[in-house]
Amino acid sequence: MSRSRWVRRAGLGLLLAGCARPPCDHCDTLVIAATAEPSALLPPLVYETVGRDISDQVFERLADLATGAAPIDPAGYRPGLAASWERVDSLGWRFHLRPGAQWQDGSPVTAGDVVFSFQAYGDSVLDAPARSTLAGRITASAEDSSTVLIRFRQAYPEQLYDATWHVRIIPAHIWRWVPVGDWAADTAIAHLVGSGPYRVRSWQRGQTLTLVADSLLERAAPAVRTAIWRFATDPDAALNLVLSHEADLLETLGTPERATRVRADSVLRAISYPSATYGFLGYQLKGAGPLTDPEVRRALNQGVDRSTLARVMFGPGTRPPPGPMSQLLWIWDDSITVLPFDTATARSRLSGAGWSRGPDGVLAHHRKRLQFDILVPSSSPVRRRVAEALQEDWRRLGAEVTVNAVEFPVFMERLGRGRFDSYIGTWLDEPSPRGLGDQWTSAGIGALNYGGYASPGFDREFTRALEATSVAEARARFRMAFDTLNADAPALFLFAPVNVAAVSRRVENLEIDPFSWLSGLRRLRLRPN
């Protein structure tokens, strides 16, 4: 998996303790507990989820995709820094910047800033998260001071998505004078000048980061004038922070037990919303182990009650996905063919493949025992619990399974080198399903396709789905692709969770976009304490 996705996943979650909220009669300050601290806030350097959530308050995209909208649907986009746009031809889109748009230092936002930003995201030295998508495929040019033409090397349905979703616009008049190689080391608050509703006031590393509403904002001023992120790594300390009413928001509680504690507090609400993640067990398909036999994998998959496992581990609302997708991904389709939970059929498959029980109850075939390990990161107790549940299910089938918990760097190193039998992974979706190809098509072998799954049929249908020009056609193609994937059983898709956020009752008008947790910050209102 790419470093951007893994690091971003590591930032999905909980947080710290620190200084108490200052007293006030009608406080306009919001405090957010966060599990991880960003390494940077300048958009081309942002990899972590928490960094993106903060940076998105300061910097803007040309346009935003509405929650739940299909990226190939032009009607699913709403104005951002661009007030309007139109298709020029099959390879080009023209964007018109918002009249009066300005940077927080008073300088006007120009088409030159947009061109500069696209060049920055494609720069090999910066190695921005979207560089592989943008570099050599998309060019931006200024037609005049407020009009940008974005052209593509080839025609495809997600042009508008690639022109808007990946790139936050940064001020050329500041960053063109800083050598690109020095951007990561530049920590000057004065250089974090955006066009969004908030600007950075202070950043105390390891403690807090404070945003304030921009005084030059030409649009309606946000009711939340100050937003403070407080950083922690301990989930229990994060929970205590909201339970002590020193923080207003906690993005996700992580377990049903923590949600129960929040619901018992009259000052807090527990708000459920679909997560942009899914979890799975991936099999190693290379080598000579028992998991290279697709009939063994099918039997193992049918021996797991995924619905019960998802509900017990994550609480109500969590569902077993029909393929590699979160509940938020627009291609979710309950008609995708999934091998059903059926212990009798699972045992019959194993028997038919020549596996029989030995004296110790473990299945064997040609002197090869049905034994393997499940690799998990020791930093994730949830993944370990899931692995232990699978271990017990498969023990009843006659498999000898070991749960192997290792430090996260070791976990990643072993995945990259193929040194595992199976592993519990999670994936953070973007609105587009295109990134799934990195994991499951043959093109991803040697990169993010750690198990080595290779199916010409899946590759063909997946590519056709991405090339579809209508939502209906794309859905049908994706369904056929995932039917093939599930029949081959390179993985067991386990959970598409529902997150539960802790929210103070003083917070009103909260609209959660799971792809950008605090995208609605400017619309929040706060009741008096």
Closest CA to 62 of 43, 41, 46: 43
Handedness of CA 80, 84, 85, 86 (dihedral sign): positive
Q: Does residue 379 sit in the same domain as residue 504?
A: no
Quick one: tokens of 7? 């690091």
Residue 268 has pLDDT above 90, yes or no: yes
CA–CA distance, 236 with 14 (Å, rounded to integer): 8
CA–CA distance, 358 with 361 (Å, rounded to integer): 5
Chain segment 456-486, per-residue pLDDT in tens: 999 999 999 999 989 999 999 999 999 999 9
185, part of any domain: no
Residue 302 Cα to chain centre, angstroms: 28
CA–CA distance, 228 with 514 (Å, rounded to integer): 20
Residue recorded with tokens 């943008």: 134
Chain segment 198-209, per-residue pLDDT in tens: 999 999 998 999
Burial class (CB in 10 A: 0-12, 13-18, 19+), 446: exposed
12, part of any domain: yes
Q: Does residue 303 sit in the same domain as residue 230?
A: no
Q: Does residue 166 sit in the same domain as residue 208?
A: no
Q: Does residue 433 sit in the same domain as residue 456?
A: yes
Q: Does residue 339 sit in the same domain as residue 454?
A: yes
Q: Does residue 268 sit in the same domain as residue 304?
A: no
Supply the pLDDT for residue 253: 86
CA–CA distance, 312 with 256 (Å, rounded to integer): 9
pLDDT confidence bin for 51, thresholds 50/70/90: confident
CATH number at residue 208: 3.40.190.10
CA–CA distance, 386 with 412 (Å, rounded to integer): 19
Residues 6+ away with beta carbon under 8 Å from 220: none
Among 27-36, 275-284, 499-508, the least confident range: 27-36
Supply the pLDDT for residue 220: 61
Handedness of CA 291, 297, 301, 302 (dihedral sign): negative
Q: Does residue 322 sit in the same domain as residue 395?
A: yes
Chain segment 70-115, per-residue pLDDT in tens: 999 999 999 999 999 999 999 999 999 999 999 999 999 999 999 9
Mean pLDDT of 228-243: 86
Chain segment 61-81, per-residue pLDDT in tens: 999 998 778 999 999 999 999
What is the chain's mean pLDDT, rounded? 89
Q: Does residue 330 sit in the same domain as residue 375?
A: yes
Supply the pLDDT for residue 318: 92
Supply the pLDDT for residue 24: 52
Q: Does residue 202 sit in the same domain as residue 323?
A: no
Q: Does residue 385 sit in the same domain as residue 492?
A: yes
190, part of any domain: no
Residue recorded with tokens 């581990």: 313
Percent above pLDDT 90 for the chain: 67
pLDDT confidence bin for 217, thresholds 50/70/90: low
Residue 1 has pLDDT above 70, yes or no: no
**What are the CA-CA distances from residue 92 to residues 137, 140, 156, 276, 457 (Å)?**
12, 10, 11, 30, 32
Closest CA to 30 of 183, 164, 198, 178: 198
332, part of any domain: yes
Residue 123 has pLDDT above 60, yes or no: yes
DSSP track, 322-357: SSS--TTSTT--TTS--PPP-HHHHHHHHHHTT-EE
Residues paired with 203 in a beta bridge = 209
Chain segment 320-373, per-residue pLDDT in tens: 999 999 999 999 999 999 999 999 999 999 999 999 998 889 999 988 999 999
Residue 218 has pLDDT above 80, yes or no: no
Chain segment 415-438, per-residue pLDDT in tens: 999 999 999 999 988 899 998 999
pLDDT confidence bin for 216, thresholds 50/70/90: low
CATH number at residue 130: 3.90.76.10
**What are the CA-CA distances from residue 526 to residues 57, 85, 260, 446, 522 (Å)?**
18, 35, 24, 50, 11
What's the first-to-final CA gap in the chain, in angstroms? 44
Chain segment 164-208, per-residue pLDDT in tens: 999 999 999 999 999 999 998 888 899 999 999 999 999 999 899
Residue 14 has pLDDT above 80, yes or no: no
How many Cα atoms occupy the beta-carbon half-sphere of 218 within 13 Å?
12
Q: Number of structural domains, the chain?
A: 3
Chain segment 509-522, per-residue pLDDT in tens: 888 877 877 878 88
pLDDT confidence bin for 219, thresholds 50/70/90: low
Q: Does residue 221 sit in the same domain as residue 312?
A: no
Range of the domain at 227: 3-41+51-56+196-274+500-526
